[in-house]
Amino acid sequence: MGMRLFRRCFVSYGVAGHLGKALSLILWLAVPAHAEDDAAPVTVLALGDSLTQGYGLPPEDGLVPQLRHWLDERGIAAGIVNGGVSGDTTAGGAARVGWSLTPEVDAMMVALGGNDLLRGIDPEVSRANLDTILEEAAARDVEVLLVGMSAPGNYGADYKAAFDAIYPDLADKHGTLLAPDFFAGLGEGDPAELQRYFQPDGIHPNAEGVVRIVEGLGPHLAALIEAAK
- Taking CA 96 as the corner, what is the angle to CA 8 and CA 39, rounded to the nearest 5 degrees? 105
Residue tagged active-site, from 50, 86, 100, 150: 50
| Residue 220 falls in the annotated catalytic set | no
Nearest to 113 by CA among 142, 144, 138, 92: 92
| Residue 116 falls in the annotated catalytic set | no
Q: Do residues 19 and 98 lie in contact, with contact meaning Cβ atoms separated by under 8 Å?
A: no
Residue tagged active-site, from 72, 122, 169, 201: 201
| Residue 169 falls in the annotated catalytic set | no
State the Cα–Cα distance between residues 142 and 125, nearest whole angstrom: 23
Residue tagged active-site, from 116, 126, 150, 204: 204
Contacts of 1 (CB under 8 A, 6+ apart): 191, 195, 198, 202, 203
Q: How far is CA 178 from CA 111, 148, 163, 223, in A?
A: 11, 7, 15, 10
Residues designated catalytic: 50, 201, 204
